[in-house]
Amino acid sequence: MWGMIATWRMAVEGITRGAEMLKESGDAGDAIEAAIRQVEDFPYYKSVGYGGLPNEEMEVEMDAAYMDGSTLDIGAVAAIRDFANPVSIARRLSREKVNSMLVAEGAEKFAHKEGFERKNMLTDRAKAHYRKRVKEMAAQAAAEELKPYSGHDTVGMACLDGMGKMAAATSTSGLFMKKKGRVGDSPISGSGFYADSRKGAASATGLGEDLMKGCISYEAVRLMGEGIHPQEACETAVNRLDRELRERRGEAGDISIIAMNPKGEWGAATNIEGFSFAVVTEELEPTVYLVTREEKGRCTYEKASEEWMEHYMKTRMAPIEE
């Protein structure tokens, strides 16, 4: 059995590419890297790679990570600028025994030395979003609190190949209008991602500051390691963290997670409305699902309709009214 599951509708073209590789006995690491690169390269996704929205200084600072579930190798970059595919730099770093997580100039220096493609990641479209937000903020008495951009933030994936190897990877430009140097959960092991070929792999999306409070990806993998089905593992991890945050702090940020186990079974859960994910397995063609959170935090999902898929792309590509 092989398969891939990923956060958000934006990942479906990526996992389709990954599935082509897995079908041909491809390696989980190669497939997940190719899948995330596809999302990073698409200019209309506002929270990942090229076209990602900038920080408050109008710079696109990106976070990404890669984890090999068999060796437990981890590589990550944070607050890196001007490189086309942060996930590939993260994967390259995962082969280092030390210095495997690099930030900002250090990460850029490493990427340059290793010959990774440089690219100005700030598009005209992202600049227009920035100008619009600056105006909106100026119009308010106090600048509004930062929110993960329309809920569409990290692309995070879990992958199982035909040899039983699992991998997890993430990539994001983080919160729109974040402070320079702010790092979210996506490059942080156990929070944004975790993979263990013996237990399963998971990745999270939402408000990084809150996701890190529960090391939620590790928690989902730990639960799968106890024999719990990925769906129940995702729901338990989300609901526990959501409850703890509400009890102790009065509120919880956006929390969503996807997971797959070594049998290729999968699950997804969220504490918000509007979470979507994409999944493909040997038995299931690439499919986008929309999640509904029911009573007591149970999550159900239904396949996204053709109309929903069309509307999604139309709104992503619509002109920006400044």
Q: Which residues are catalytic?
A: 154
Regarding 210 and contact with ligand GLY (CB under 6 A), the answer is no
78-107 mask for ligand GLY (x: CB under 6 A)? Answer: ------------------------------
Regarding 196 and contact with ligand GLY (CB under 6 A), the answer is no
Q: Which window, 1-9, 124-132, 203-211, 261-269, contacts ligand GLY (CB under 6 A)?
A: 203-211
* Footprint of ligand GLY on 135-154 (CB under 6 A): 148, 153-154
Identity of the residue, 167 or 207, whose beta carbon is nearer to ligand GLY in the bound complex = 207
Q: Which of 186, 189, 197, 271 binds ligand GLY (CB under 6 A)?
A: 186
Regarding 208 and contact with ligand GLY (CB under 6 A), the answer is yes
Q: How far is the CB of 254 from ligand GLY (least distance, A)?
A: 8
* Footprint of ligand GLY on 266-305 (CB under 6 A): none
Q: Which of 7, 85, 172, 281 binds ligand GLY (CB under 6 A)?
A: 172
Q: Which of 206, 214, 264, 286 binds ligand GLY (CB under 6 A)?
A: 206
How far are the Cα atoms of 180, 297, 302 from residue 292, in angstroms, in the given order? 34, 9, 8
Q: How far is the CB of 252 from ligand GLY (least distance, A)?
A: 14
Q: Within 10 A of 165 (CB to CB), how many other CB atoms are there? A: 20
* Footprint of ligand GLY on 218-237 (CB under 6 A): none
Regarding 61 and contact with ligand GLY (CB under 6 A), the answer is no
Under the rule (CB under 6 A), what is the footprint of ligand GLY? 148, 153-154, 172, 174-175, 184-186, 205-208
